[in-house]
Structure 1
Amino acid sequence: MVKAGNRSGRPRAGEERLSREAILTAALRIVDDEGIDALTMRRLAATLEVNPMSLYHHLPNKAAVLAGLAELVFAGLEYPDPGDAVPWDEQLKDAARAYRNALRAHPNLALQVLSDTSAVSDVVVVTMEPFYRALDRAALSSRQIFESANTLIDFIHGFSLGEASVRADTFELAPDLLTRVEGLPAGKAPILTRIVQELGPEGLAYDFDSGFESGLSTVTAGIGATVRRR
């Protein structure tokens, strides 16, 4: 006989359809809409209309949920090897663009991923193979592959943090920068002054897409120089 107030072994309405994928999909929706701080196991259970304890059968804690989100968002980056038909540097750029796009699609998750060492490790496991594959095709040593990949990922992470904080396609740098440069004492920062004045408002407009491509080309060219030295 079951005492009043105790649950039987039967699941509540909704729990029979509960799955790891359903939990992670709901968690990602919360993070995207409201930020990482809004994600709790209790809030997640309420969204799914299930008992909080039922979540732990699939994901034991919030850390496991975050690791699962990294897998959910980034696992699609493990695309097939394009082979030698695509040069190694283009393969590397394609991997970088795909990684940046995944971060950009979920900026709230990106901020968490990039500030949590365990989350970074989760992401590395599911995203780094295309980077390592391209660099291995460039015939770099294991140490050079490791360091080159880290340098490129650091660039993407830093860029993504700035992009996520702005939440726009462009950054209006020109008006304030022009005003500040015009107010500098004569002879102070002459090169900066000359360049800013030569570029003008249109030349100083910062577009994140073109800024990313410029930085990506610079980093890839540096790796290419290492390849040529070998």
Structure 2
Amino acid sequence: MRVLLIGATGVFGKRIAARLAHDARFELTLAGRTLSALERLRGELDDPSVQVAVIDVEATDLQDTLRSLAPEWVIHAAGPFQSQDYRVAKACLACGSDYVDLADGRDFVAGIHALDNEARAAGRLLISGASTVPALSSAVVDHLRGRFGALTSIEHAISPGNRTPRGDATVAAILGYCGRQVPVWREGRWQTGYGWLSTLRISFMSGPRWAGLCDVPDLALFPERYPGVQHVVFRAGLELRRLHFGT
């Protein structure tokens, strides 16, 4: 399978590249904006079969570029997705490739259903949100919901360790909604919250940490995915108190 990994030199892109390299099932092409960074990553992978391609997801000739590379599967990991449109997904449909992205942008993930009919007509797989949220978070809710007679409230949170790499896209996404109004499903109706506020002290396996409201796809998708739920909140926090409250 010919796999094109866009955003290969990012934090998550590098991890995906490492998993796909040296696997005979895939012909991997690393893609991004900077050739030197791509070449450096290819050297680190030490897989002579890996190719590189310079791709700008905002370029007007994106569709022609993908068609020339003829991928069968495109992994879009070039965030942040909060300010992107669906040009990569549309280019994949046009060139006959399946598509999956790591988007965690609320509007981006919630709105990709607009391409559903086109994808079905083309016989192509179109997946958005294959990330911590909403993919893993919804998997956790699905796994646990059978333990309860009724599902009325969903509150979940994440707090990465301070040594966990945070790429530019993640930082940009967080700063993009800090202090801004965020629609939140509370008491069975839409109410207004504010990004990184509504702060709580939450117990994690590693100990208690502070966490604040985040604008993620779950806030839009969960009220529809889980009928009857009256309350959906997602929070995130940073391990170091000064860094969290500084943000």
Which TM-score band (shorter chain)?
under 0.3
Rg comparison, structure with higher value: 1
TM-score when scaled to structure 2? Answer: 0.26
Q: Could you say which structure has the greater relative contact order, defined with CA pairs below 8 angstroms and 6 or more residues apart? A: 1
